[in-house]
Structure formats: C-alpha cells, structure tokens
C-alpha cells in the first residue's frame, strides 16, 4: 500500500510530502478517473491535485496528437501548470498510436511518477486504453496503416455503414456486438479479421501490472450532458477549429489518417474539401459527440470495480474531488 498525506497544498513543484511505499503490499497504487466526454474529468483531477500530490496520465486517444488542440479537449495551459500531465502532445498526427503503445508509455509514466513520490491518476475516456493498462492485452495483429486508409476511403465513398456491412460478412457474430457508428472498432475488427485473428473475442486477463487500482467513473444526467456537449461543439468551432484543420491539411497531413477520424476534424476536413457546409459540420459534430458519450457510458458500465460519482449530485468539480478523496482514504490510499 502507498499512503499519501491528504493535507498537502501548493503546486507539484513545491510539495515535500512523498508517497511512502509499504513493503507488505508491493503493488503500486494507481487511481483511474474515467467517464464520458465532457463530464469534467480533467477539472476534477486538477481539483484533486490542489489537495494531494498527483500527476495525471492522460488516457485519451486524441489528446496524444500535436497540433490537434481545439476539438480534443486537452487540458488548458493553466491546468497543466497546476498538475503535471503525461501523454499529451506525444505523437504527430501521422504517427501510429494505439492501445499497446499507450500501455507501454503509461507504465513508464507511472513508474516515473512514483519515483517522484506522487500518486499517478489516469484520466480519460478511451476505455480500451485504460483496460489495456490495468488488465492487459492479449496478442493481436499489429495495425495496418495502408489497410486503414483503404477502409477510410471506402467509408468516405460508400458511407460508414458499408464497413459494418463488410464486417457482417466476415465476422457476423462480432458485427452483431458493434454499433455501425462505432467506426474505430469496426475498422479494427476488419483489420484483425483480414489478418486471420480472432476478432474481438480476446480473453482480457487478470491485472498483469503491479498496480492496485482505485477506479472512479464520473457521470451526470444524460440530457444535461448532451446540452453541455452541444454547447462545447459550438465553442470549438468559435475557437478556430476550421482554421486548425486547414493548417494541418496545409502541412500535408492526409484527411484519411486515423487521427483525422476524430469528431470535429473529420467534419471540417470535408468543409476544407468543399463537400460540407460549416453549419452542417457543426450539426454532425453535435450529433456524433452525444452518440460517442453514450457509447462511452456503455463501455464503462461493463467494466468491473468502478465507483460511480454523479458530478452534479456531488456538488460539482470540488465536491467530486472531495468524494474521490474520501473514497481513497477509505480504501487506505490516503493516510
């Protein structure tokens, strides 16, 4: 067990309290704060960092990309000054970044954080990344960028449901478990099927890393979150999303790249190509963000051991951070 003084104040740079590793419990403690997009995970983590010495490991499959800032919900410069954030801006948009790479990078960050005497808090909404970290990944074929580009082109030409129809032919049992709009997982399933692997029927192993995980899921009223997400999409557009996308394209990044399949970037790449009006792009962003949040809820409700906290009922950001601290204290993580 690792204990953390719960009355630490100040910035990460001037905290002197350290995590004290107890030999009878060798597993490193790791806190996870997950949940749907827009629910306030980063804000809660930053508030938590005002009370205990933590560093954040971002578990977000889009925040890893440099230059993709406006619509990825990256922590603000103020948040990153308040609490150190790892795995933000660590890859170029044309880099391959997937669960296995995240697992290796996150494990290294966790070791570094513990070596500095702080508590690692994994924060994000990419459920596959978090699962890979805390439960391991069975072997699977590596990504095939050329095949991915081919699938993206097919989806652009024939519609996304065409990929799901192909999967229904190649692996009907898997297709029944995946929503036609779950674009990333449908593409990965096709990729694995093409390589002759067992598609999405992996046996997720027991925890294989030396972590004692305290897992929190943040939630709130779904209609309230939907309104928040619709407003946030409009704010992204007002903040210059179209200009950011055009700048990335001007630098030579191909809109068929996996990074460009992020909500907001795929729509405004089509705006830049003259095939979609900005107002329609915003409408699609709003619709798809709400749908994405629903899929995240479904994913996390299937994960074992999550302590759910309703952000609104807990009293907002500070109240939720207090609830997290109370549970950590009860679990013996905080001394």
Residue 181's domain comprises: 145-194
Tell me which of 41-45, 139-143, 170-174, 210-214 is least confident. Answer: 139-143
Q: Is residue 221 part of a domain?
A: yes
Confidence of residue 141 (pLDDT cuts 50, 70, 90): low
**What DSSP designation does 199 have?**
T
Among left, alpha and beta (phi > 0; psi -120 to 50; other), residue 9 is beta
Q: Is residue 176 part of a domain?
A: yes
| 184 lies in the same domain as 261 | no
| 122 lies in the same domain as 154 | no
The residue among 288, 244, 295, 230 whose CA lies nearest residue 263 is 288
The string over 260-276, giving b where at least 16 C-beta atoms fall within 10 Å of a residue's C-beta and e elsewhere, is bbbbbbbbbbbbbeeeb
What is the token pair recorded at 233?
A: 């999409």
Confidence of residue 214 (pLDDT cuts 50, 70, 90): very high
| 58 lies in the same domain as 114 | yes
Q: Is the pLDDT of residue 59 over 80?
A: yes
| 263 lies in the same domain as 156 | no
**What DSSP designation does 33 have?**
E
| 25 lies in the same domain as 106 | yes
| 265 lies in the same domain as 125 | yes
Q: Is residue 335 part of a domain?
A: no
Q: Is residue 9 part of a domain?
A: yes
| 295 lies in the same domain as 311 | yes
- pLDDT given at position 44: 98
What is the mean predicted confidence (pLDDT) over 318-323?
A: 98
3-state DSSP: the chain helix, strand, coil percent, rounded to 5? 50, 15, 40
| 70 lies in the same domain as 184 | no
| 150 lies in the same domain as 252 | no
Q: Specify the CATH number for the domain of residue 157.
A: 1.10.20.140
pLDDT in tens, 236-289: 999 999 999 999 999 999 999 999 999 999 999 999 999 999 999 999 999 999
> CA 108 to CA 259: how far, in whole Å?
23
The residue among 244, 242, 243, 270 whose CA lies nearest residue 256 is 270
Instruction: Count up the domains in the chain and report the number.
Output: 2
| 72 lies in the same domain as 110 | yes
Tell me which of 78-87, 179-188, 240-249, 299-308 is least confident. Answer: 179-188
| 22 lies in the same domain as 91 | yes
Q: Specify the CATH number for the domain of residue 302.
A: 3.40.50.300
- pLDDT given at position 139: 58
> Which of 161, 194, 227 corresponds to the end of one domain?
194
The rounded mean pLDDT for the chain is 86
Q: Is residue 313 part of a domain?
A: yes
Q: Is the pLDDT of residue 51 over 60?
A: yes
| 88 lies in the same domain as 220 | yes
Q: Is residue 212 part of a domain?
A: yes
């Amino acid at each position: 067990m690792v204990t953390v003084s719960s009355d630490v104040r100040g910035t990460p740079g001037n905290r002197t309290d350290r995590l004290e590793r107890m030999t009878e419990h060798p597993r490193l403690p790791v806190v996870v704060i997950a949940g749907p997009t827009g629910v306030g995970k980063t804000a809660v983590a930053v508030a938590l960092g005002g009370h205990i010495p933590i560093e954040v490991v971002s578990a977000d499959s889009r925040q890893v990309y440099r230059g993709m800032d406006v619509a990825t919900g990256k922590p603000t410069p103020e948040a990153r000054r308040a609490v150190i954030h790892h795995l933000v801006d660590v890859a170029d948009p044309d880099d391959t970044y997937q669960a296995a790479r995240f697992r290796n990078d996150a494990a290294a960050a966790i070791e570094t954080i513990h070596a500095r005497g702080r508590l690692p808090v994994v924060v994000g909404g990419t459920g596959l990344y978090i699962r890979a970290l805390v439960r391991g990944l069975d072997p699977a074929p590596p990504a095939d960028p050329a095949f991915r580009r081919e699938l993206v082109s097919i989806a652009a030409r024939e519609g996304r449901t065409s990929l799901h129809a192909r999967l229904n032919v190649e692996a009907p049992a898997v297709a029944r478990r995946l929503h036609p709009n779950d674009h990333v997982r449908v593409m990965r399933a096709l990729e694995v099927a093409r390589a002759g692997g067992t598609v999405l029927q992996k046996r997720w192993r027991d925890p294989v890393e030396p972590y004692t995980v305290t897992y929190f899921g943040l939630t709130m009223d779904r209609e309230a979150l939907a309104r928040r997400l619709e407003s946030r999409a409009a704010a992204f557009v007002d903040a210059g999303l179209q200009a950011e996308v055009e700048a990335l394209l001007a630098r030579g990044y191909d809109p068929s790249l996996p990074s460009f399949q992020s909500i907001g970037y795929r729509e405004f790449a089509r705006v830049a190509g003259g095939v979609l009006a900005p107002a329609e792009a915003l409408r699609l962003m709003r619709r798809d963000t709400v749908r994405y949040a629903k899929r995240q809820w479904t994913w996390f409700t299937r994960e074992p051991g999550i302590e759910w906290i309703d952000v609104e009922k807990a009293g907002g950001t500070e109240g939720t951070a207090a609830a997290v601290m109370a549970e950590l204290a009860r679990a013996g993580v905080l001394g």
